[in-house]
Every structure is written in C-alpha cells, then in structure tokens.
Chains A and B, each alone.
Chain A
Amino acid sequence: NAGVTQTPKFRVLKTGQSMTLLCAQDMNHEYMYWYRQDPGMGLRLIHYSVGEGTTAKGEVPDGYNVSRLKKQNFLLGLESAAPSQTSVYFCASRTKGFGETQYFGPGTRLLVL
C-alpha cells in the first residue's frame, strides 16, 4: 500500500513549455485534490475531483487543467508554464464521508525559468 504517489519529484521547465503532473492513490478514495505551496506559505487549492470523470475549480485554478479519467489517478496539466507557477505541488486524496481526513503525497517541485 503506497498511499499517494506523485510523479515526477522534480522538474525544470522553460517559460511556455507544457507538462503533466501525475498523482496516483491506491486507497480507493473518491476525492482527490491538487494544491500548490509557495515558500513560507500555506497550501492553496488548485482543482479537485469528487469522483471519476468529474473535476472542479479551487482557489487558484488559472493556468492549470486537470483530468480524472480513472478513479486512482488525478492529472494536473500546465499548458504554457509561467515563472509564477514555480512552486511545490501536492496531491491529496480522501474517502467520502463525514470527518474524513486528507492524505497527502510527497510533492512535486517545479521550477519554471
């Protein structure tokens, strides 16, 4: 049982390039989330999904797209990376239910030059 895993761990992009971050969970959780964390700040919600085939916007969705084609995977895409998207990205998942907590992945560190 690996929990929540994220791929890649670290990536450097040039402005304008695109990339996809992969989040996978093996806990059969219904809900999945993508956050970003800037230095010295708390986490901010980018997008989330409450089930396979559904996604919704969080606090800071601009510049990102997501897809949840399979229950265990949640993909975060950057179509045209900008330096302002330099951050650490965390994925999380939780089961459906009242009071359930979120389980976070180890993070992906992204540097956009």
Chain B
Amino acid sequence: LAKTTQPISMDSYEGQEVNITCSHNNIATNDYITWYQQFPSQGPRFIIQGYKTKVTNEVASLFIPADRKSSTLSLPRVSLSDTAVYYCLVGLIGGYNKLIFGAGTRLAVHP
C-alpha cells in the first residue's frame, strides 16, 4: 500500500480556507485517495474520496493532479468545529479495503 506524507500540524482562523496537501509518490494505478477526519475521543469519519482531477461534496473538495503523486484536501471557510486530525489514505478501495493510517495532520482553528 502506498505510503503517504502529510504535515504534522496546521493552524488557521475561522472563516479561512484550509488546504492540506498529502504526498503519495508510490500510488498505484488502481489506488484511490481517501480522507478521514477524527475528533478527540471519536472514531474517524469519512470526508471525501477521489481517483483523479477534482471531487467536491458538501463538506470539502479534493484536488488531484494528473500524475496523482499528491492530493490536496480543501476545507472552505473553516469553523472552530473543524479542529480535528485529518488523515490521507491511499489504497485499493475494493476487496478488503485495508486502510493504512499515518499520523495525520492536526488542524487547529482559532477564533
């Protein structure tokens, strides 16, 4: 499974757009890119998933360049409640879907 690299932590302020970039140089042809969010004392929660180009849902956007060696999670107009750890995962989303979690990015949103 492809290894991912993300910043350990980020800080932002309410109302700003936050972009978290994840590197996955060894991504395979059949790999998808998935982002999860985790609040303290809770299990991870699915945010968004994509294969290439851009994906948008009601929570976030995911930008994936043509070479797919990186991806960027974009959170528009963050609020205090977006303070959490964000995980980028890369793997074959099918079969047994064995997710490999890294340490994630700790996002702190300030007033």
Interface residues of A (CB under 8 A from B): 4, 31, 35, 40-45, 48, 50, 56, 58-59, 90, 92, 94, 97-107
> Which of B44, B93, B98, B99 is close to A98, meaning CB atoms less than 8 Å apart?
B93
* A50/B42 in contact, CB under 8 A: no
* A94/B97 in contact, CB under 8 A: yes
A56 with B96: in contact, given A40-B103, A42-B102, A99-B32 (CB under 8 Å)?
Answer: yes
In the complex, which residues 68-111 of chain B have their Cβ closer than 8 Å to any Cβ of chain A? 87, 93-94, 96-104
Interface residues of B (CB under 8 A from A): 32, 34, 41-46, 49, 87, 93-94, 96-104
* A45/B99 in contact, CB under 8 A: yes
* B45/A104 in contact, CB under 8 A: yes
New A-B pairs, 12, CB < 8 Å, besides A31-B96, A101-B93, A102-B99: A4-B43, A31-B97, A42-B101, A42-B102, A58-B98, A90-B44, A98-B93, A99-B49, A101-B49, A104-B42, A104-B45, A107-B43
What residues on A are CB-neighbors of B41 within 8 Å? 106-107
* B43/A106 in contact, CB under 8 A: yes
* A41/B44 in contact, CB under 8 A: no
Min C-beta distance of A29 to chain B, whole Å = 11
Query: Within the assembled complex, what's the spacing in Å between the Cα atoms of A42 and B34?
Result: 15
* B43/A48 in contact, CB under 8 A: no
A90 with B98: in contact, given A42-B87, A99-B32, A99-B93 (CB under 8 Å)?
Answer: no
Min C-beta distance of A19 to chain B, whole Å = 20
Query: Within the assembled complex, what's the spacing in Å between the Cα atoms of A102 and B97?
Result: 9
Query: Within the assembled complex, what's the spacing in Å between the Cα atoms of A37 and B87?
Result: 13
* B97/A106 in contact, CB under 8 A: no
Q: Which residue of A lies closest to B96 (CB)?
A: A50
